[in-house]
Amino acid sequence: MNDPGSSGDTVTFAHEAMKTTFHLRMPTGDPRHQRSVAQLCFDTIDRLESQLSRFVDGSDVSRINAMQAGESLFISESCHACLVQALHMYQETGGLFDITLGSRIEHLKSGAEGEAPEIRGHLTVAPDRPLIVCESPGRQIDLGGIGKGFALDRLRSLLADWEVGSALVSAGNSTQLAIGGEDWIMDLAGDDDRLRINLRNEALSASGTGIQGSHLVHPDPDRDAGEPLSFKRVWLTAPSAAEADAWSTAILLMTESQVRELGADRPCRLYVEDAGGIRPWLD
């Protein structure tokens, strides 16, 4: 954990984990209490990384990815909860948010030539206990951003237990979670434009080729349902960080009609960057 930095009436702690930098900002208070809270938060993130990262040997996800047909595996409560939420978001997004495309994502990021690996395999997640069953091998889980969002959401209850009434926690520049009833000022930064918004007791997640490079894989490459919207970046608010991450990823794969339906049904705000700069969409 890095030493805190202060700005105005806030104090900031930073910690490297999950291939990004987590930040915890709180209004200035008792330094000893705040340092203890920050250490607990970052210990929680490290524990979650040891369970959720596919790059950590012996993690729950790495063991799931190595399963063979007919095998069963008990995993941690945290990993099970994250998988259940990811499956829920898979259903909510009509299959556009899919955590089992790890091999295809790796193929895209590496710039490898030839066809992407075929999607195959079947895993079953027990709904009522932390059990995974491999019906047939092949699925490669990559929790990616939703794992980071899940970690931020877990800090919400921890901070409440430690009587922190207001805080802003973030996973790099991609996902922010404002906790409590105070406004936190956020600057949405694009290539040549900025837009300032307020965030209060909600999450904000960003996605786009300008943030992480070309990393988005459509789960149905043979689709014929219209062209996705061509935004450089999108920012979306949602009640939880995990939800915000899933939706911001799925939106870049959606058609205009799908996004309009989302805007009508969800308590969210959507901002986009295109050739005209950064603006609210469907405002």
Domain residues of the chain, as ranges?
60-142
For the segment(s) 60-142, the CATH number from 1.10.287, 1.10.3980, 2.60.40, 3.30.750 is 1.10.3980
Asked if residue 169 lies in contact with residue 18, where contact means CB atoms within 8 angstroms, the answer is no
Task: List per-residue pLDDT tens for the chain, 283 residues long.
Answer: 554 444 458 999 999 999 999 999 999 999 999 999 999 999 999 999 999 999 999 999 999 999 999 999 999 999 999 999 999 999 988 888 989 875 555 545 545 566 666 778 899 999 999 999 999 998 889 998 899 999 999 999 999 999 999 999 999 989 999 999 899 999 999 888 899 999 999 999 998 865 444 455 555 555 444 566 667 889 999 999 999 999 988 888 888 777 777 655 666 889 989 888 899 986 5
User: Three-state SS for 133?
Assistant: strand
**From CA 8, how far away is CA 28, in angstroms rounded?**
9
User: Three-state SS for 131?
Assistant: strand
Pairing, β 5-7 against β 20-27: unpaired
What sections of the chain are H helices per DSSP? 31-52, 60-65, 77-92, 102-110, 144-161, 209-212, 241-251, 256-265
For residue 34, which phi and psi values (nearest 5 degrees)?
-70, -35
- Sign of the alpha-carbon dihedral angle for 130, 136, 137, 138: negative
